[in-house]
Amino acid sequence: MSPENGKANLPDQNLVLVCGDDDFEVKIKSQDIVVQWKKGCAGLELETIDGQSGNAREALAGISSVKAALETLSLFGTGKIVWFRYCNFLGEGRVATAKQTGDGIEGLLATLKACDWRNTRFLVSASSVDKRKRFYKWVKQSGQVISCESLSAQGEAAESIALDLISAEVRRASKTIQQDVAERLIRLVGLNRRAIVAECEKAILHAGENDEVTYADIESTVSPTRQAKAFAFADAVADRQLESALARLEDEVWSMRTDRQKTELGLLYGLISKFRNMLQVKDLVTRKRLCPERNYARFRLQFNALDRSQFSEDRRFNPLSQNPYVIFRAVSQVGWYTETELIRALEMLMVSNQRMISVSVNPASVLRECVMEIVLGRRCDWVRQVQLIMMSGSTCATIAIAVQGGAGGVKVAGRANVACSVAFRRILEHLREDSVDRIFVFLEDCLLMDSTFLGVLAKQGVAFSSAANSRRSRITLVTPSERVLDLIENLGVLSEFEVAETGPEIDFVFRDVSLELDCDLRELTKMSLEAHETLIELKEENRARFEGVTTLLAKDLGVNPPGDKPSSWWAKVKIFGRTWEMSKWARRESVSLEGAGSTI
């Protein structure tokens, strides 16, 4: 029976083509069709043929197997299902355009037209199909074509489809999930069906015997995509969360070592897009056209009620062209900034962009400095000094010390940054002045070092191994991580130390050291300046990296009150849980750093 005259001669859904750019959805849809066919007609025999081909010869072999399967009767069943799966030569690739492949497809068409469809069902699953070719047109006319487009191509309906997918997966596990929790999952993994299903299964397993999948399950199990991590950095800046923003920036900069597609400019452009969007949303909030709302579903009602004809057709200047959830987040974030601050932030980002592309500077340092100034704003004049404390973007490390015989041990755990550099320097100075002839610095649990901490370590290493030191030994770095070791080597100071993969055969008994040392910001500034000058002395190439920093620090040290004692001029300031000294010129007003959780 020939189906050339249309669908009337072909039993409904006996010939199906499933195709699209979403491979995961193509696979799932094809499997569902096979299951439905088997349930609808008992006794059908399934024959699966792999259509994935690397050249025209393999494509012809697959087509020949399909033709043989269609022309062969079922031996044990009442009919046959032939599934030609993962077919990759129906599109526009090299294999698809080969003459041999084209001739093979024409032969397959002839076989399909002559097939007895009463006892045969044929399913083709393909990632991409050229809709201009005869094969697609004939299947569309004679059978059924099911298109599986990616979620990102679904437009405004994409998020609803993703939410339905999550709900279906959760219901299949006899659990429930709140809409805001499901939206959080989508934000972390993006609009990707395969990733959504995989991460949803992990969250369901983490929920265990609980009836509901919660935020805790999502945050504990879901792996954010690269795009989600970049969004998290921009969100931290928008939320004025200084510590979180700088910590995420450090993580992004570190990941650029292995991911060539990531750049500091990419992060900068993400911030520009974020703050441009926030400025537009700020105007809507000011004019009462949008109001902050904790519930996303209720916010969507506000968003959908806006008259789109009153907005620009240019997507760059039309906030309604953004995903509604992006606007939902922005509405809650614009309260941290005034309109003037948002405009100034965009100006600073533009200046940072010009510096990155036109001046020989470290782009990560430029971005870090810009983030500091955006988050802190003009509410204080001591941005640079706070930058000293938080240059590495996180709280300081913990330090433990031990002395056994003639050996001293120092254990550093966490993020070794400027905040703990003073204590670290004093510990090493004490060990040098004591009777120890060997110093071991244990770095197994040290996550990273900033330039100030490394400069202090390098300066102490030079002093310990100098000619004036009768012991003529060097500080030994014990089991440093690859990340820390690469940093030390790149800054050219590795030669000042010995590196040991295992600890010494000494039974050190470590005791934690309190970092609440008596120091002021002038001492911190001076120490940081000396540390960076040490790095420049040890490797001339570091001058291009740190010359701007040393100039800035030297300028800060030049602001000294004439003829006054430091104690009468410097005021106590609590920053990031620690008490520091701050010069009177810097504290012109009382300031609350909401993002950092600190007060002045």
**pLDDT tens sequence across 3-58:** 433 333 334 578 999 998 888 888 888 988 888 888 888 778 888 999 888 898 99
The residue with tokens 């510590």 is 243
Instruction: Give DSSP secondary structure letters for 371-425.
Output: HHHHHHGGG-S-HHHHHHHTTTSSPPPEEEEEEETTEEEEEEEEEE-GGGHHHHH
Number of residues that make up the chain: 600
pLDDT at 594: 33
CA distance 89 to 38: 27
Tell me: pLDDT of 363 over 50. Answer: yes
Angle separating helix axes 99-113 and 134-142, nearest 10 degrees: 20
CA distance 247 to 447: 12
Residues contacting 323, CB < 8 A, separation 6+: 159
Range in 145-149, 189-193, 580-584 with the lowest mean pLDDT? 580-584
**With DSSP H G I counted as helix, E B as strand and the rest as coil, what are the percentages for the chain, rounded to 5?**
55, 15, 30
**Other residues' Cβ atoms within 10 Å of the Cβ of residue 295:** 11
CA distance 37 to 96: 29
The mean pLDDT of 108-116, rounded to a whole number, is 89
Tell me: pLDDT of 129 over 50. Answer: yes
**pLDDT tens sequence across 230-279:** 678 888 888 888 777 888 888 888 888 777 777 888 888 889 988 988 99
pLDDT at 379: 41
* Residue 287, SS3 per DSSP: coil
CA distance 80 to 118: 10
Better-scored residue on pLDDT, 463 or 382: 463
pLDDT at 516: 56
pLDDT at 17: 92
Better-scored residue on pLDDT, 220 or 361: 220
Tell me: pLDDT of 104 over 50. Answer: yes
Q: Are 148 and 25 in contact (CB under 8 A)?
A: yes
- Residue 522: which of 560, 578, 485 has the closest Cα? 560
Tell me: pLDDT of 469 over 60. Answer: no
Per-residue pLDDT band for 575 (boundaries 50, 70, 90) equals very low
Per-residue pLDDT band for 515 (boundaries 50, 70, 90) equals low
Better-scored residue on pLDDT, 12 or 184: 184
The DSSP 8-state label assigned to residue 52 in this structure reads -
pLDDT at 554: 77
- Residue 375: which of 104, 208, 596, 226 has the closest Cα? 596
Residues contacting 509, CB < 8 A, separation 6+: 402, 404
Q: What is the largest CA-CA distance in the chain?
A: 107
Name the pTM for this structure: 0.46
Instruction: Give DSSP secondary structure letters for 322-376.
Output: S-HHHHHHHHHHGGGS-HHHHHHHHHHHHHHHHHHHHS-S-HHHHHHHHHHHHHH
CA distance 91 to 97: 8
pLDDT at 376: 73
The mean pLDDT of 465-488, rounded to a whole number, is 76
Helix intervals (H) in 53-98:
56-71
pLDDT at 270: 87
Tell me: pLDDT of 442 over 90. Answer: yes
CA distance 147 to 55: 25
Long-range contacts of 31-38 (CB under 8 A, 24+ apart): 33/123, 33/146, 34/81, 34/83, 34/123, 37/81, 37/121, 38/81
Phi, psi of 286 (to 5 degrees): -60, -40
Burial level of 1, CB count in 10 A (0-12/13-18/19+)?
exposed
- Residue 233: which of 340, 371, 361 has the closest Cα? 371
Per-residue pLDDT band for 374 (boundaries 50, 70, 90) equals confident
pLDDT at 520: 60
Per-residue pLDDT band for 568 (boundaries 50, 70, 90) equals very low
pLDDT at 2: 36
Per-residue pLDDT band for 432 (boundaries 50, 70, 90) equals confident
What is the average pLDDT score of the chain?
A: 78
Tell me: pLDDT of 182 over 80. Answer: yes
